[in-house]
């Protein structure tokens, strides 16, 4: 039995539909502007970290088991790394996902070490605390906030009550006796030389014992990707103090 013939016009349209379909597919797989921005930043961080460690592309390739050409394409934002490639980068280079996706300039050579001298400190008085900020000019402070502050009150209301923030907090008593308050827990008395490490999400407050002044070293470590810096201890207390002052004026 003879098959019915297909008109020539119909035959010519088939490839056109195929080409249109392929073009549509290619468009669908293009990275949008946000994705390009993310991969561009990731590539920048990867190059910064690799160069800060003194690794060539070939050396990084050996460490990660990723071809040097692929690493170069990622660094130059010519391809997006897959999840498996990200895992190889993290494991092979000893870098975290936070490091790769964090703030720019974190791994530049001039940002790897920071020194702070007594004359560099800026002292801020908020409620019953005198804060001395440290290492504010380095990008390393985007992941860790060190402070030295003195406490001059034993009244919870003088410091704005208990407060919380994202991150892990460390305190070391330099002089005096500290009374450390936590929500739902009995206060802890810490003398000079004592320290505490705790989850900053637990509402807490620092008070002096009696009327003596207490000086402590305070360090908060946080995820720069997910943490709004305005919620950290110094910034949060500044916000509460401004709000309290505004209420009194009105």
In tens, the pLDDT along 100-146 reads 766 555 556 666 788 888 887 778 777 678 888 888 777 777 778 89
Q: What is the CATH number of the domain that holds 126?
A: 2.60.120.10
Domain boundary among 79, 111, 143: 111
Task: Flag whether 232 is in a domain.
Answer: yes
Token pair, residue 24, equals: 């549509």
| Same domain, yes or no: 177 and 92 | no
Question: What separation in angstroms does the CA of 203 have from each of 49, 87, 102, 166?
Answer: 36, 35, 27, 11
- Residues 190/178, Cβ–Cβ less than 8 Å: yes
Domain with 83 in it: what CATH number? 1.10.260.40
Whether 213 is in a domain gets the answer yes
Same domain, 141 and 203: yes
Copy the structure tokens of residue 246.
């505004």
Whether residue 230 sits in one domain with residue 176: yes
Residue 126, in any domain of the structure = yes
Q: Are residues 128 and 232 in the same domain?
A: yes
Task: Please identify, among 43, 77, 111, the residue that sits at the C-terminal boundary of a domain.
Answer: 111
Residues 82 and 33 in one domain: yes
6 in any annotated domain: no
Which ranges of 76-132 would DSSP assign to H, the alpha helix?
Answer: 83-93, 97-101
Q: Within 10 A of 70 (CB to CB), how many other CB atoms are there?
A: 17
Domain stop point among 111, 139, 162? 111
185 and 97, same domain (yes or no): no
Domains contained in the chain, number = 2
Do 186 and 205 lie in a common domain? yes
Q: Are residues 205 and 226 in the same domain?
A: yes
Whole-number Cα distances in Å, 113 to 85, 134, 198, 219: 29, 13, 26, 17
Residue at 2 is within a domain: no
210 SS3 class? coil
- With beta carbons less than 8 A apart as the criterion, state whether 163 and 187 touch: no
Select the more confidently predicted residue: 29 or 156.
156
How far, in Å, CA of 240 to CA of 236, rounded? 6
Residues in Cβ contact with 211 at an 8 Å cutoff, skipping those fewer than 6 apart = 154
Q: Are residues 84 and 175 in the same domain?
A: no
> Per residue in 142-151, pLDDT tens?
778 898 989 9
Q: Which of 15-24, 156-165, 168-177, 239-248 has the highest mean pLDDT?
A: 168-177
Percent of the chain whose predicted confidence (pLDDT) is above 90: 30
Report the run of H or E that residue 198 belongs to, with start and end. Answer: strand 195-199
Q: In terms of residue numbers, what domain contains 75?
A: 11-111
Q: Which residues contact 213 (CB under 8 A, 6 or more apart)?
A: 150, 151, 152, 175, 176
Residues 97 and 128 grouped into a single domain: no
CA atoms of 84 and 90, how far apart (whole Å): 10
Q: Is the pTM of this model over 0.85?
A: no
Same-domain check for residues 123 and 103: no
Q: Contact, 142 vs 101, CB < 8 A?
A: no
């Amino acid at each position: 039995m003879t098959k019915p013939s297909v008109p020539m016009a119909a035959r010519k349209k088939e490839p056109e539909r195929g080409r249109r379909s392929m073009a549509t597919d290619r468009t669908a797989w293009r990275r949008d502007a946000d994705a390009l921005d993310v991969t561009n930043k990731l590539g920048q961080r990867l190059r910064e970290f690799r160069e800060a460690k003194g690794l060539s592309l070939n050396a990084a390739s050996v460490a990660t088991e990723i071809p040097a050409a692929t690493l170069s394409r990622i660094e130059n934002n010519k391809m997006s790394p897959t999840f498996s490639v990200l895992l190889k980068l993290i494991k092979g280079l000893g870098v975290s996902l936070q490091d790769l996706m964090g703030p720019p300039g974190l791994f530049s050579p001039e940002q790897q070490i920071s020194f702070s001298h007594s004359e560099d400190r800026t002292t801020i008085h908020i409620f019953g605390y005198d804060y001395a900020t440290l290492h504010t000019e380095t990008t390393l402070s985007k992941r860790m906030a060190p402070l030295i502050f003195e406490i001059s009150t034993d009244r919870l209301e003088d410091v704005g009550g208990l407060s919380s923030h994202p991150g892990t907090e460390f305190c070391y008593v330099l002089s005096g006796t500290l009374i450390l308050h936590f929500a739902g827990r009995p206060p802890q008395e810490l003398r000079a030389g004592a320290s505490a490490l705790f989850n900053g999400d637990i509402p807490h407050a620092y008070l002096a014992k009696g009327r003596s002044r207490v000086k402590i070293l305070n360090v908060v470590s946080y995820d720069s990707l997910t943490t709004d810096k305005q919620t950290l201890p110094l910034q949060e207390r500044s916000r509460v103090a401004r709000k309290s002052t505004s209420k009194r004026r009105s």
